[in-house]
Amino acid sequence: MTNAKRPIGIFDSGIGGLTVLKEMIRVLPGEATLYLGDTARLPYGTKSEETVIKYSIENTRFLLRHNIKLLIVACNTASAVSLPVLRKEFSLPLIGVIEAGARAAAKATKNGKVGIIGTETTIRSSAYTKAIKAINPDIDTVGQPCPLFVPLVEEGWIDDDITLSIAGRYLAPLRKAGVDTLVLGCTHYPLLKRAIQRIMGEGVVLIDSAEETAFEVKEVLTHLGLVVPTDGGNISGMTPVRKYFVTDVPLRFEDQGSRFLGERILKVEKVEVE
């Protein structure tokens, strides 16, 4: 297989990373992808850094056995705590979701006040704050964990009154702080964009890390000369391979995943990564 034809590996704690895959398919339609959802060990967002790093190393080793050309750490929690370790341990091109989101937020803010929402472990790590401050130390950040958002999205309660009421409570400190930009720092949150925008008001810019990451992947692959050529966005020849691995039974992943990906999920295989 030529270098460019090798697949892109993506891992997440479960189905959430499909929001990143969705953007990837939109931005780079010709790329073959291997997605690993560590469904047996999710959630990552409430676990310690040490545990998430261990899982991230195992997931990376698994995908490396499948000859990937680049790895996307789609999980915000895993990106927040394990990226420096993965970069030290493995030599392939590695892209997390934090840096692209931080760059977009630093660019978008006009009043220098950026809010960040994510899992408990992501917010505790301050990874987004550090990445934003590295770009512009004058930007003030306010972090807010929103742990109930993940189960709400997985339940499909996207535009529900309960969701709006919970969002109102979580986002109140960010509104009070007067942020004009809000980073959706978790794989699941792009599905709540409408509810979050309603609470924050139309004037607040929402940063979708999934979308920003897909642009970064395109940039890196272009730089490395590893993009699969497409004919003006149309895939010439065969549809690229999309394969899915999960660490627990595939049923739930297949059922719920289609909602995250916006297309039917086929070819899901249960694997061991430990």
The residues of the shown chain that bind ligand DGL, judged by CB under 6 A, are 12-14, 16, 42-45, 75-77, 119, 122, 150, 186-188
**Which residue of this chain has its Cβ atom nearest to ligand DGL in the complex?**
45
Answer yes or no: 75 catalytic. yes
Answer yes or no: 146 catalytic. no
Cα separation, 17 vs 35, in Å, equals: 9
For ligand DGL, give the closer residue by CB, 151 or 178.
Answer: 151
Cα separation, 118 vs 130, in Å, equals: 15
Which H or E element spans position 205?
strand 205-208
Residue whose token pair is 């040490």? 50
Q: How many CB atoms lie within 10 A of CB 229?
A: 8
For ligand DGL, give the closer residue by CB, 214 or 228.
Answer: 214
State phi, psi for 37 to the nearest 5 degrees.
-110, 115
The least distance separating ligand DGL from the CB of residue 45, rounded to whole angstroms, comes to 3
For ligand DGL, give the closer residue by CB, 81 or 205.
Answer: 81
State how far Cα 16 lies from the chain centre.
7
Cα separation, 152 vs 10, in Å, equals: 24
Percent helix, strand and coil across the chain, each rounded to 5? 45, 20, 35
The least distance separating ligand DGL from the CB of residue 24, rounded to whole angstroms, comes to 15
The least distance separating ligand DGL from the CB of residue 130, rounded to whole angstroms, comes to 16
Q: Which of 28, 75, 123, 210 is an active site residue?
A: 75
Which H or E element spans position 107?
helix 98-108
Cα separation, 74 vs 14, in Å, equals: 10
The least distance separating ligand DGL from the CB of residue 187, rounded to whole angstroms, comes to 4
The least distance separating ligand DGL from the CB of residue 249, rounded to whole angstroms, comes to 17
3-class secondary structure, 268: strand
For ligand DGL, give the closer residue by CB, 111 or 274.
Answer: 274
Cα separation, 76 vs 82, in Å, equals: 10
Q: Which of 83, 174, 186, 210 is an active site residue?
A: 186
For ligand DGL, give the closer residue by CB, 98 or 226.
Answer: 98
Which H or E element spans position 211?
helix 209-224
Query: Which residues are part of the catalytic machinery?
Result: 75, 186
